[in-house]
Chain A
Amino acid sequence: MKRELLKYSIFAVCVLLAPLAFLDSYLLNVLVFVGIHTMLAVALNLLLGYAGQISLGHAAFFGLGAYLSGVLTTTYGWNPWFTMLVAAIVVGGLAFMIGFPILKLKGHYLAMATLGLGIIIFIVFNEWVEVTSGPSGFSGIPNLQLGQLIFDSDLKNYYLVWCFVLGCVLLSVNLANSRIGRALRAIHDAEVAARVVGVNARLLKVQIFALSAMISAIAGSLYAHVMTFIAPPSFGFNISVELLTMVVIGGLGSIYGSFLGALLLTLLPEFLRFMHDYDIVFYGGLLMVMTIFMPGGLVQGIPDLFRKLVGLRKGKGDSHA
């Protein structure tokens, strides 16, 4: 437990001090999005890495949060913080209700069902033009405000978003090391065995699905207020796949791995601007290579690789590896 606390403290200090290194630079803006992606990846990882349930529709929950916040604050003048809470509860409730039938499905069927759900919601964003403004996007969303402090610069947004990320990471790390986390891992490894020893697998899966959707919705609200403009392509199937890639690259079941995955996949396209159209090929290739050669993600794969290299250099070349 002490190690977890140490890890978390180091992470938190790094996060809080990072702007000192990149003050007033474009990178700070990118880091705001790294934060939002980290929240989403951690949320998906709770479901995928811990409970072993895949979702290819998480971008839709992200989008629902963004659109609820955007539309209710802009069109109807609701208080943004209150709306964020409402969005989280509404999306969480929706996921909870749909969770019961959808999480009865397993493996490939679950993947397809969540994918279908994501696409239906995406179609609604596009077609319900009176409310969402359709494909041209919804603009004029106000920035968040705390007393006199208006979150309108990159630096302020950085601290806003990363405070949420730190909260979300703390929650997830705690959850993972609690009774619930162990029960989830039991479901992951052998659902029937878990049920036999008294884990209410069905309810637990639905609860974690709802929690994951809630975190995604909050990330969506933050995104809407930071960007002040939202459009359907930010919440489509490709984004769901991108989130999946982040989780897989970082390592299933590793919270800090999800951060690493989010960091990598958000920064890389910025540095590889010349790759513009190639990024989709890159994601596809990366997903395949990682699944084949590093099924544990970077968090496990890099130490393994290191150990192997050291082993080779010593000339031991352990035969069973």
Chain B
Amino acid sequence: MELGTQLLQYLLSGLSTGAIYALIGIGFSIIYNATGIINFAQGEFVMLGGMLTLFLLSVLQLPLWIAIPLAVLLAALVGLLFERLAIRPLRKASPISLVIITIGGAILIRGLAMLIWGKDTHSLPSFTGDEPIMLAGATLLPQHLWIFGITVVLIGLNKWFFSHTISGKAMRACSYNPRAAGLVGIDVRRMVLLSFVISAAMGALAGIIVAPLTMTAYDVGIMLGLKGFCAAIIGGMSSGLSTVIGGLVLGVLESLGAGLISSGYKDAIAFVILLLILFLRPQGLFGKPESERV
């Protein structure tokens, strides 16, 4: 393959993984904006999406178009339980306790997944076949198109939800000032719960659409979750377009790095970017610096 086609190939695969990172990153941002918590268990919802779909497909023999929504629903239910059982009892806790409790939750979910489904790596069937599509010398799988399509739809839905529905607007109010939101009659606790449910569902869907390409196992959540967080950091923890761009940039850089430099160090690229951004521009690439009140 000549360099041009090769680059196009890296770009395409980078964009598709980047779209996944973007979805996971938005999940992080939604919870962060509603509660100020970085949910370390976010990656586990991604894992649950893939593993639950697999379970529904292979054990319960459900068709794909039922298994997917059901898996998303179940993951959202886990998100709901997680908020109720772990986050709500700790509402006025220090950031360190919140970090520790979400890490504990992540380990618990991962461990239970390992006990239930074992340690093997599984693959999910592609949604519509594996016939590759040629595009100027580079190959594209139908699953890539699904990823792009579903990501665009989800981001559109997300935008619509936050700017045109009462619940979405209420959640935004909570992120600006929970106390004031409470005073005008918004049930802040319910919005927090809702943020966990939405993030869990989005994460799970991301996990489902990527599983046919990258395989899934009980422990895929750690890496995917961290990369998603990296996307959210690049985007300055916004739940909008800048996190999407963050995800895409990360995906492309990773895929170029893996292709041109070394595939072994591929995972390190995301973390080097993460550290650089945290050190140099903690408000994200596109954000304005905030002053802190004490």
Contacts and interface: CB of A to CB of B under 8 A. Distances in A.
B221 to A, nearest CB: 12
A13 interface: no
Residue of A52, A107, A291, A292 with highest tally of chain B CB at under 10 A: A291
Contacts of B107: 241, 280-281, 283-284, 287
B226 A111 contact: no
Most B Cβ at <10 Å: residue of A109, A278, A283, A287: A287
A120 B274 CA distance: 11
Interface in B24-46: 37-38, 40
A105 B97 contact: no
Interface in A92-140: 101-102, 104-109, 111-113, 115-117, 119-120, 123-124, 126-127
B294 to A, nearest CB: 4
Interface in B59-116: 86, 89-90, 93, 95-101, 103-112, 114-115
Contact of B100 (A105, A126, A237, A248): A248
A295 interface: yes
A280 B229 contact: no
Contacts of B222: 237
A244 interface: yes
Contacts, number: 123
Contacts of A241: 103, 107
Please indicate which of the listed interface residues A109, A120, A124 has the most CB atoms of chain B within 10 Å of its own CB: A120
A123 B265 contact: yes
A282 B113 CA distance: 13
B129 interface: no
A68 to B, nearest CB: 20
Contacts of B104: 283-288, 291
Interface residues of A: mostly helix, strand, loop or mixed?
Answer: helix
A284 B110 contact: yes
B96 A52 contact: yes
Contacts of B89: 292
Contacts of B112: 281
Of B109, B111, B262, most buried by chain A (CB within 10 Å of CB) is B111
A112 B294 contact: no
B55 interface: no
A116 B100 contact: no
A54 interface: yes
A59 interface: no
Interface stretch (B130-138, B162-170, B183-191, B275-283): B275-283
A318 interface: no
B272 A108 contact: no
B286 interface: no
Interface size class of A (residues with CB under 8 A): 35 or more
B13 to A, nearest CB: 21
Given A281-B115, A285-B108, A291 B274 contact: no
A108 B271 contact: no
A107 to B, nearest CB: 3
A284 B106 contact: yes
Nearest to A240: B103
B136 to A, nearest CB: 33
B219 to A, nearest CB: 10
Contacts of A18: none
Given A107-B96, A123-B268, A113 B103 contact: no
B101 A102 contact: no
A109 B277 CA distance: 11
Given A112-B229, A120-B268, A291-B90, A244 B100 contact: yes
A9 to B, nearest CB: 32
A117 B275 contact: yes
Contacts of A126: 264
Given A102-B279, A244-B103, A116 B226 contact: yes
A248 B274 CA distance: 27
A113 B278 contact: yes
A101 B274 CA distance: 13
Interface in B255-294: 262, 264-265, 267-268, 271-272, 274-275, 278-279, 282, 294
A84 interface: no
Given A291-B101, A292-B86, A292-B89, A278 B115 contact: yes
A280 B110 contact: yes
B107 to A, nearest CB: 3
Contacts of B114: 277, 280-281
Nearest to B105: A288
B265 A127 contact: yes
A113 B275 contact: yes
Given A56-B103, A127-B265, A252-B96, 14 more contacts: A101-B279, A102-B278, A111-B38, A113-B275, A116-B230, A117-B271, A120-B272, A241-B107, A244-B103, A284-B106, A284-B111, A287-B103, A291-B93, A295-B93
10 contacts: A101-B279, A112-B226, A117-B275, A120-B275, A123-B271, A280-B111, A281-B115, A286-B104, A291-B101, A292-B86
